[in-house]
Amino acid sequence: MSKSIAVNAGSSTLKFKLFDMPSEEVVAEGTIERIGEKMGHAKIKYGDGQKHEEEQPFVDHGAAIKYLLDQLIALGIVKSYDEITAVGHRVVAGGEYFKDSAVINDDVIEKINSLAEYAPLHDPAELVGIKAFRKALPNAFAIAVFDTSFHANMPKMNALYSIPYEWYEKYGARKYGAHGTSHRYVAAQAAKMLNKPLEDLKLITLHIGAGASITAIKNGKSFDTSMGFTPLAGITMATRSGDVDPSLVAFVEEKTGKTSAEIIDDLNHKSGLLGISELSPDMRDILDAADKGNEKAQLALDIYVNRIKRYIGAYIAEMDGADAIVFTAGVGENSAPVRKLVTDNMDYLGIKIDQEKNQCHGVQRDLSAPDAKVKTLLIPTNEELMIVRDIERLKKEQAN
């Protein structure tokens, strides 16, 4: 059987999941961390609960990828490189170039490179991963799957800001969103759970993890989404502020002497749950501290839940109703307390969950109370599976 590998390269990390195809069985997965530092760490899970861990330096992504491929052979996961016939790369920013996943060629690489300013923390690292895998597996079918592509065809009334139109025309200033692969996956799963065509549904998908976004999905397409020109906008996140008045940047610049770039960095890395609580970006820590009476942790939790509710209400209004809301990603999948807080006192919108059903994590389940008019679903996301499915789809399209 041939194998496809889904890859997510960060600035100093490499995450992967290897699938037998077309069975979609996961045969190995893991991470390589601290690439480019004095000492790196690799972890590979495979077989029947087997695990390989090792610490050694990885000078760059090329070295990390060679190590990974060699370990897949050494551990008996594959017999040779040739067994891996396809590679799918997660890429954050596709701009307006990529409204779907794309087969990688020189033109695609050049365009991803030109989009680096839209996602400076992500696209350059992902491009390094693309080039390194291209060198290591020159005969493999390779694609790029973009976080933004699912949102690329949002109605203009939702995609554009109320700014001079030429900023959009000349510089591409618009809402791009993120987590599109996740939103696309859980929406398809929701349709299966509801036993209805996706095109007939109105869904609100809540991808809430360290990074978080909420998407309104109407007729199977992204109708609106909370993240904006960058992943900084939207709801409160682990370390990101979410929506703020842009004038705040100039105000803080004047008061502190910081540059606008430094303030944007603070809004990305020192805000959100961490900034408000002055304690932790981790929701588990926030919930624990709030239970013990920590006022700032409680405030952080209240703001977090409030912003999610705000977007749910807005998207129900925008779509003239909703058939279901879907919780996914780290917090959405694993935090019963957060799911309860988000759905509390929303009976008037038809949203009501069964608290016994809600006592779970990481499993696909209908959490709705019997009398709920809007379904509440818990669906673990699987972006890697979506990536390898896109590989198969694009293979067929290219063959035809």
330: annotated binding-site residue? Answer: yes
Instruction: For residue 200, indicate whether it is catalytic.
Output: no
Whole-model pTM: value is 0.90
At 180, is the pLDDT very low, low, confident or very high (cuts 50, 70, 90)?
A: very high
220: annotated binding-site residue? Answer: no
User: Distance between CA atoms of 90 and 102, rounded to whole angstroms?
Assistant: 11
Higher pLDDT, 135 or 198: 198
For 200-237, how does the pLDDT look when each residue is reduced to its tens digit (9 = 90+)?
Answer: 999 999 999 988 999 999 999 999 999 999 889 999 99
Among residues 82, 100, 147, 371, which one is catalytic? 147
Q: Which long-range contacts (CB under 8 A, 24 or more apart) does 226-231 make?
A: 226/177, 226/311, 227/175, 227/176, 227/177, 227/178, 227/179, 228/161, 228/175, 228/176, 228/177, 229/118, 229/161, 229/173, 229/174, 229/175, 229/176, 230/118, 230/119, 230/176, 231/92, 231/119, 231/178
103: annotated binding-site residue? Answer: no
47: annotated binding-site residue? Answer: no
Average pLDDT value for the chain: 93
User: Distance between CA atoms of 248 and 230, rounded to whole angstroms?
Assistant: 17
Asked whether the predicted pLDDT for residue 396 surpasses 80, the reply is yes
